């Protein structure tokens, strides 16, 4: 992003000097003073674009009943960690961000856009051993907080945190076709909708997914106008292959977007897969299957198609 500033160019200063000389000559000739514009009046000077450093809200914390919460200077919760289970995903909506596990095996590369308290990043790094896990976070204070307050390990052969804008990451062609599961949770201090939500952004996210199939999960706010806007843009970017799980917590809804060939799987198969996820990863996956059937409006259907 850039900020426009006003600065006098050499041409503008030269013009000002000539004008000043002319005014002085007229003053002497006519015996009166003219109203002059100051040399430093830059209203008509050319505008020059200069880089603007991002402005971040303060990173703050709270604790209650053995759970540490991340905030961006407001009461809105941006992440959480149970102190006795630092690698456990505490919040239900964050657990739902792992719903891609119902549809694909652990991919080689899992990426989280927006680090937050690093719950998803830590979980994938700790329990999905076959994957290289990466997180993209623009705010350096959030990265420091994740390391010092939420027990995110240092980078290693399987873990990388990129201090980078998510837009730059997904539009980098070197990332296209390389990510099996992409989890998007990009909120600012107001926490009222993703800060990146254009069709172009979601198309770039889709371009990052591997062939033949990849899955994106997105944290949205169901009780805010941004939800309808984001669902519309996700559907445009993913050719209508998007579904949102029912609302949890204070309005959070997780959208799941699919790339690759059409999916047609029985709910019995999803239930079987969910039981395996619950056994091995201790995530409430059968609730996800129930939520899918509700959102699809097919609670009595035998298969899920998208």
- What's the burial of 259, exposed, middle or buried (CB within 10 Å: 0-12/13-18/19+)? buried
Q: How many CB atoms lie within 10 A of CB 63?
A: 11
Q: Kindly report the pTM of this predicted structure.
A: 0.81
Domain segments of the chain: what residues? Answer: 2-51, 88-305
% of the chain exceeding 90 in pLDDT: 70
Q: Which residue matches tokens 């003073």?
A: 33
Residues 6+ apart with CB under 8 A from 144: 59
Round to whole Å and give the CA distance between 86 and 68: 10
- What's the burial of 240, exposed, middle or buried (CB within 10 Å: 0-12/13-18/19+)? exposed
Closest C-alpha among 247, 246, 292 to residue 269: 292
- Tell me which of 46 and 96 has the higher pLDDT: 96
pLDDT of 38 strictly over 60? no
CA angle 112/235/287 to nearest 5° reads 60
Round to whole Å and give the CA distance between 179 and 208: 6
Mean pLDDT, residues 144-173: 97
Q: What's the pLDDT band for 25 if we cut at 50, 70, 90? A: low
Domain 88-305 of CATH type 2.40.10.120: no
Mean pLDDT, residues 164-171: 96
Q: What's the pLDDT band for 35 if we cut at 50, 70, 90? A: very low
Tens-place pLDDT, residues 61-77: 999 999 999 999 888 88
Chain-wide mean pLDDT for the chain?
85
- Tell me which of 16 and 30 has the higher pLDDT: 30
Round to whole Å and give the CA distance between 47 and 9: 9
pLDDT of 282 strictly over 70? yes
Range with the poorest average pLDDT among 10-19, 112-121, 290-299: 10-19
Is residue 233 helix, strand or coil? helix
Tens-place pLDDT, residues 91-107: 999 999 999 999 999 99
């Amino acid at each position: 992003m850039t900020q426009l500033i006003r600065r006098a160019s050499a041409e503008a200063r030269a013009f000002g000097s000539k004008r000043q000389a002319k005014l002085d000559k007229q003053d002497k000739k006519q015996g009166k003073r003219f109203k002059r514009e100051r040399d430093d009046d830059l209203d008509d000077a050319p505008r020059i674009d200069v880089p603007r450093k991002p402005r971040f809200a303060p990173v703050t914390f709270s604790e209650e009943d053995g759970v540490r919460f991340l905030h961006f200077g407001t009461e809105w919760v941006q992440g959480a960690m149970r102190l006795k289970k630092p690698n456990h995903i505490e919040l239900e909506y964050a657990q739902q961000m792992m719903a891609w596990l119902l549809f694909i095996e652990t991919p080689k590369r899992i990426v989280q856009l927006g680090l937050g308290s690093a719950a998803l990043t830590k979980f994938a790094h700790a329990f999905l051993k076959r994957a290289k896990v990466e997180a993209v976070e623009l705010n350096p204070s959030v990265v420091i907080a994740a390391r010092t307050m939420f027990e995110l390990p240092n980078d290693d052969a399987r873990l990388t945190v990129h201090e980078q804008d998510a837009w730059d990451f997904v539009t980098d062609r070197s990332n296209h076709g390389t990510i099996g599961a992409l989890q998007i949770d990009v909120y600012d201090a107001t926490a009222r909708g993703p800060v990146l939500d254009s069709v172009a952004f979601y198309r770039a996210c889709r371009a990052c997914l591997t062939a033949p199939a990849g899955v994106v999960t997105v944290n949205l706010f169901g009780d805010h106008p941004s939800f309808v806007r984001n669902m519309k843009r996700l559907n445009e970017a993913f050719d209508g292959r998007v579904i949102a799980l029912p609302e949890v917590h204070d309005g959070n809804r997780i959208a799941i977007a699919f790339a690759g060939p059409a999916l047609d799987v029985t709910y019995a198969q999803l239930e079987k897969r969910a039981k395996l996820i619950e056994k091995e990863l201790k995530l409430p996956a059968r609730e996800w299957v129930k939520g899918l059937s509700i959102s699809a409006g097919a609670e009595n259907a035998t298969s899920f198609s998208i």
